[in-house]
Structure 1
Amino acid sequence: MDMDKLSLFSDNRIRYLNIILNDEIFEGNFKDLLKGFDELRAITFVSSPKTFFDLSKEFQKIILVLGIEDNDAIRSFDGINPESITDFLNDLDKSTIESIKDQKTEVRYAPLGNTIHSKIFLLRNKKQKRLMVGSANLTQNALSDNSQFEDILVYDEEYNPKIISIFEKRFEYIYSRTIDFIPERYKNSKEAVISFASAEDNIELIKELAEKNKLVGISSEVLEKITIPNFEAQSVNIDIEHRKAKISKKIFDEITKKTKNGLIFLPKDQIEKKKSAFIDLMEHKKDKEEGDARAGITYNPADGLLYLSDKTIYSKKIEDKNEIAFFLDKIEKFIEAYRIFTIGTEEEKFETQIRVFEAILYTFVSPFIWELRKMYVDEKQSEALRADIPIFLLIAGKTQTGKTHILEFLKVMLGHKFYIFDKEVKPQNIKAYLESKEVFPLLIDEVSKQYFSSTSDISYKGEEFVKTMVNYLKDTHPCVIATTNNKFGVGSQVVRRIYYLEMKVSFDMKKREEMDDYHAEIIGDLNNNFFRDFLYRMATKLNQGYNVSHDFLKIGREIFKEYFDETGKRIPDWFNRSVLDDYMTKSRNIWKMLYDTKKDGFKVKGKEIYVDTRKVFGEDHYEKENAKNFLPSSIIKEDSVVLILDREGFFHFIEYKEKIIEKLKRVINK
């Protein structure tokens, strides 16, 4: 975490973060408050373990007691769900893991039935002690002085020894009623982290977690009252955490039983007898039954590589340059088909070739899209930027534009280890896939427009679902690569979360037989070796540290350049250097045409444009609503009985320059 960015107060900014040091306003940098101390004892909510431990790197000893945020009762179940614990540990770097194993870092949490909302930070060295207490957790949002009002009181022992003593005793009191969050089996492991816990590992871990909660002495009355809040009717924004919480509650139900003296935890031997129930829970058997037949390709944070479910390495380097050249030739020939067998101008064919390569590139990068999103947020210190890297790729175009051919080619290049849907897929299944930890992409042919554009509150499709998935998926997850027709249209809040590519030309059906033979020859002897090498190279680059830019596919472009350089091949003209913005271009062209052909429906009045929707769209309500989806929300000033647009914004959007005579008429009319 770049703490230099955590400026507390600066000119022309609202003072969100208010720090009082020894009864005086502190106007320095938060980092300055930590300097000179070698031990940190903290009670705080932690949204990102990595961010917390990056912030506390300089301390030789750390005790972290995990708290929860307001109205976040589901977090109180994290301590009995192996998935939550491994997620926490997998967010840590190797040095932090080693610090935990060396007992220099300790992490604790409240037992079931208890929650901790305190925010206490105690710093000390051989000569000095410091207390920080207030409303702020030690999180990026709380300390970035950005839109969240927080207050922190800071006292040094020499200034106020009594308050230091009071909170030291308070910390020890809370600490004594907490449980060690790090399982003993993890501390004693030779690996940096156990990222591929088997069903047997998870059952052993559940036994340990049940025993810890049992030993802390939770009363039967408290156990009886433990419930998971019912979120079914609430916002989908909490649905991902809710899924975890439901698993935790099921685990809780399995490891406890009712007796005449109330609810108690089961002993280890009785938990062992319920092995099959835990296997179903931890392997998400229900999700598998819904059709997820992909190979288990998951990320291992210990080395940054991808592994199969049997723990063998999937990422694998190609040693023979001739083999790399073979695959490059195949890709070039496939893309060349969109010039040889299509109808259109040379410019349109060239634009299509660029988009075919972008689709291939996105698919190859997609198993690490989740990590690029995470790195981007950490680099820029803004959670809002997570949505700037989309987890959906849409390949749009009318019939016979070769969209399905792209999916078929990718299917072979990636080794048939994932789904390609040739019929309508259930949105519920897509949601389950996105929430899984497997990272292989999902290919869907002809996804329904309503999947992205529905405005209903259904938790597995529509605008809110897409925004939720892109904004809130933070752990490892797959991406969706789908095709759709060129009538696709969604609101601006959704489209910025999708990478949209529109095919420009159609295949010449008179050349169908020749084209099919050409395609069959390309894919006939392909396999997934090239894809596995690409993932190996990408993992290597990410492990060495990588700065993510606005062009989130830049790392993939760099790898392909390496391929061309190593094999002595010329970089093709269709090799694109930056991300595309086809949806904006499409939107601009739609409204530019409407304005040019139906100008009498647009009345300019001062700084506004009044759109007569009947003159522009007739009685076609669908066409009107669909066209509005192509307008940036910032341009629309009112959309009720009439549609009113911001004049300057609209003209800038359609790249229209008012003529002098038009400006004069407007001034005269005004």
Structure 2
Amino acid sequence: MIDMSLFEITRTNIVLDGQKVNLPIEGIFNHEKYQHFIGVTYSCSPRFINQFLKGFETVEIVVGIPEESHLQKANAEITKITYEKQLNNVLESEPPKFFRDLSPENQEAFQQQKFKMWAASIGYVIHSKFYLLWNVDKSNTRLIFGSANLSNHAFSNQINQLEEVLIFDNNDLFEVMKQRYVDDISQVITPYFPKNILNVKSRKKVNTTNGIEAVILTSDDLVKLKEEQIKEKLDDITEKVSVGVLPIQIYADIKELPREQTELMRSRQDQLERTETIYELSKEIVSSPTKNPRFKNTAALTKSIKKKITLKIIQQAASADIPERPILFSSPNQRDILLDNSGLFIENPLDKEKPIPYGKKATLVQIQESFKVIHKLLANYETYTLNYEPEYGSRIYEALLYIFTAPFIYELKRQAKTVESAHDIPQFLFLGGNAGSGKSSLLRVLSKMTKVSPECLAFVDYDDILPKNEHHRKSKIIQQIISWIQEENVAPLLIDEIPNEFFTKETYGEELIVNNTNHRGRGGDPFPVFIGTTNTENYSLPERAARRSYYLKIDKPFDEEFRGKTNQAYNDLLKTITTDLYQDFVLRFAQKLDEEISIWELCEGKGKIDFLYYTREIFKEYYALIEQPLPVFFPSRRFDDSQESNQEKWRKLYLGSSREDFYYQPDEQLLIFKITSLDNNLPLRYGEVKPSVLYKKALPPKVVIGSLDSMDIELYADRFFEWIGVENPYKKKSWLKKVFKG
């Protein structure tokens, strides 16, 4: 075997005037030596601009096509592909999101037109890649060719991605390529950002440390910008047709797009919705006459765009009675700990155009009083709950840690090295409790501790999401939840009394959790977490959905003998709750994120990330600050109640009346269970879904042999009994164990 340690692999091969050199990124893009920059590239990241281009006096960047090759495509096909790609880019709000992630200084530079960013016009693909740098009198010029895009990865020698960077200083080729840019490329480009986002007066702003105002974009802003930019893209086509840069045939090419719609029906649902919008737009925006097709007049065009954007982008349930959600924006790029700015913002009731930074340092007295409230909450559980144990109190505390961390969950997902590891950071928390266990009361307490808007409900009852007379109400409730959890509003979504069907019907809870988690991948845009309560017997999720969610079993009932005292203690507690600790916490956690914390080495024995690790650390700092030891009920680890719930389900099944339906095959050491027998014995217990289906979903793949679709399922005997925590009764004991039995 070859010892790879003997080899030194150069990932980014930098050649300057024919000589291999080792230059840092800031040395390649030296803004002290060169004041002006033009870049033509496949892709560019806000981070790269923020780090390496901010020092230039002028910057122009042209972004081409980063993903798929369009070589050997006919012009008609290029038109269709670029039309779809450009409009899809708009519908995904990529340009505004890119602008949002720029530093305030760079945002201002784009608004003042010192920096400019372009995209290829619809109908053209720019496959070029080169960079031009020069100083004021052009006594120093630099031309860069190669494969590297404007990203940190491309110019890093630490990433296993081989790149070529060829640099020519003060070379005649500089003027050749500069002229290429002026004569050709500049004729087939269009502004990357919507015009209105560069309009300083019309944007929402907050002050930063250096006095520069930074732009904040809400979900409503993004919808409006989509409408505007689609119109701008189409106007660009009309203009280029009028001057001969694009052929008049482009209108007919776009008109043909609906015929190809079915070919994309197999793509992801969210991608499909955006694609349908593009196709439907293409039907309406071109005038009816076939001889001289044109885009409709401005009024009709605007109406068509607004109609389609409204229908496809804002798919809220058709009811005016939807409960109002509190609003909490997240903009990490505007985070400034020195100004007590956590990167979170709430709406300003006096001026909605000026969001208010959320977060405030608490005094020592306020922190002490807040922890008195937390300890009183746990003391109430200990006093009035039947069979209370400290471990039970830890689950209550864990729910508190989760809701405190909620606005930052999406940022933690961004740190994931793989999509699979990102699944360990759940967007969904379920609190399972029996009747009388106080799960709704706990939800109200958590809501009040983290309240950001006095005008909104503390939480929403699942049955109150839509009016009772709503047509197709059950499926629309799921659609409304999907709309909420796909918002960029990071205020947690709190829902009480989630019914059985949410967990048992595959197209409800299971698909909602799995599809949304898979769509989120490793974070990306802000999103809210979902915290819901349900009865313990209702909770049942298959392995793939359980892996992507967090379940805390809070099922011990309060003692009926002390009902009056329990209610009084709860009401007294509510009166003392403030948001002081929460507002202080968001500043401390934001500071942890600014320190570029990494949670990916903090795995436990079961392999899951303790995504609340730094929340626990902050709370430990609080205890040190108030000079108190960690209480016995403080949760030191994440729980795995979902797995334990499934184990308990099968353990009771095996040890109970269904034991006679298990058959052991000693030769193969297999256990066979006639699972259809459950449908005969328990016909009504789980409503519309057969009990056998629920029990199948509760089995982990490691214990199952073959398929779960047959009447009899085969299980690995040793693995199954180890999983349910029961000694294998079929396993032969050694003669020593028989001798010393008992």
- Under TM normalisation by the shorter chain, which class is it? 0.7 to 0.9
1:282-431 matches, within 5 Å, as: 284=314, 286=316, 291-300=322-331, 301-303=333-335, 304-308=343-347, 310=352, 311-344=354-387, 346=388, 349-374=389-414, 376-377=415-416, 380=417, 382-415=418-451, 417-418=456-457, 420-424=459-463, 425=465, 426-431=477-482
Residues 601 and 615, structure 1, Cα contact 8 Å, conserved in 2: no
Partners of 2:265 and 2:497 in 1: how far apart? Answer: 30
1:222 aligns with 2:250: yes
Stretch of structure 1 that moved more, 476-485 or 417-426: 417-426
* Pair 1:454–1:542, CA change in 2 (3 A): same
Report the equivalent of 2:521.
471
Partners of 1:516 and 1:319 in 2: how far apart? Answer: 30
Residues 37 and 59, structure 1, Cα contact 8 Å, conserved in 2: no
Report the equivalent of 2:61.
63
Report the equivalent of 2:209.
none
1:184-333 matches, within 5 Å, as: 189=200, 190-196=212-218, 202=225, 214-217=238-241, 221-223=249-251, 225=254, 234=265, 237-239=268-270, 241=271, 261-264=292-295, 284=314, 286=316, 291-300=322-331, 301-303=333-335, 304-308=343-347, 310=352, 311-333=354-376
Partners of 1:262 and 1:88 in 2: how far apart? Answer: 35
Residues 604 and 647, structure 1, Cα contact 8 Å, conserved in 2: no
Report the equivalent of 2:691.
623
2:435 partner letter = T
1:136-184 per-residue CA deviation (whole Å, 9 max, x = no partner) reads 997979x99999xx998888889xx99xx99996998556412231356
Report the equivalent of 1:44.
42
Structure 2 residue matching 1:296: 3-state secondary structure: coil
1:34-77 per-residue CA deviation (whole Å, 9 max, x = no partner) reads 9857688453257xx35766897799777351426458975411
User: Which runs of 5 or more residues in structure 1 are unaligned?
Assistant: 1-8, 23-27, 666-670
**1:489 CA drift (Å):** 1.6
Structure 2 residue matching 1:506: 3-state secondary structure: coil
Structure 2 residue matching 1:475: 3-state secondary structure: coil
Report the equivalent of 2:492.
441
1:539 partner letter = A
RMSD, aligned α-carbons:
5.2
Partners of 1:583 and 1:459 in 2: how far apart? Answer: 15
Partners of 2:663 and 2:108 in 1: how far apart? Answer: 66
**1:340 CA drift (Å):** 0.9
* Pair 1:383–1:413, CA change in 2 (3 A): same
Residues 299 and 305, structure 1, Cα contact 8 Å, conserved in 2: yes
2:459 partner letter = I
2:97 partner letter = D
1:254-282 per-residue CA deviation (whole Å, 9 max, x = no partner) reads 99877895333766x99999999899789
Report the equivalent of 1:601.
662
1:456-467 matches, within 5 Å, as: 456=507, 461-462=511-512, 464-467=514-517
Residues 299 and 306, structure 1, Cα contact 8 Å, conserved in 2: yes
Report the equivalent of 2:72.
none
1:167-213 per-residue CA deviation (whole Å, 9 max, x = no partner) reads 99699855641223135665675534443597698588777666655
Residues 446 and 483, structure 1, Cα contact 8 Å, conserved in 2: yes
Partners of 1:254 and 1:532 in 2: how far apart? Answer: 49
* Pair 1:366–1:41, CA change in 2 (3 A): same
**1:450 CA drift (Å):** 3.6
User: Which runs of 5 or more residues in structure 2 are unaligned?
Assistant: 31-36, 69-80, 134-139, 201-211, 336-342, 466-476, 601-608, 683-689, 736-742
**1:603 CA drift (Å):** 2.7
1:302-350 per-residue CA deviation (whole Å, 9 max, x = no partner) reads 2323232523425131443222222221222112221111111x4xx32
Task: State the TM-score, normalized to the length of structure 1.
Answer: 0.75
Stretch of structure 1 that moved more, 312-321 or 358-367: 312-321
Report the equivalent of 2:532.
482
Task: State the TM-score, normalized to the length of structure 2.
Answer: 0.68
Residues 74 and 242, structure 1, Cα contact 8 Å, conserved in 2: no
Partners of 2:109 and 2:409 in 1: how far apart? Answer: 29
Residues 433 and 553, structure 2, Cα contact 8 Å, conserved in 1: yes
Report the equivalent of 1:5.
none
1:333 partner letter = K
Residues 11 and 163, structure 2, Cα contact 8 Å, conserved in 1: yes
Identity over aligned residues, as a percent? 20
Partners of 2:99 and 2:24 in 1: how far apart? Answer: 28
Partners of 1:615 and 1:252 in 2: how far apart? Answer: 53
1:512-527 matches, within 5 Å, as: 512-527=563-578
1:630 partner letter = A
1:575-604 per-residue CA deviation (whole Å, 9 max, x = no partner) reads 112211111223334444555664982535
Stretch of structure 1 that moved more, 654-663 or 557-566: 654-663
Report the equivalent of 2:738.
none
Partners of 1:216 and 1:653 in 2: how far apart? Answer: 67
Report the equivalent of 1:582.
641
Residues 373 and 389, structure 1, Cα contact 8 Å, conserved in 2: yes
Stretch of structure 1 that moved more, 82-91 or 183-192: 183-192
Q: Between Structure 1 and Structure 2, how many residues are aligned? A: 627
Structure 2 residue matching 1:430: 3-state secondary structure: helix
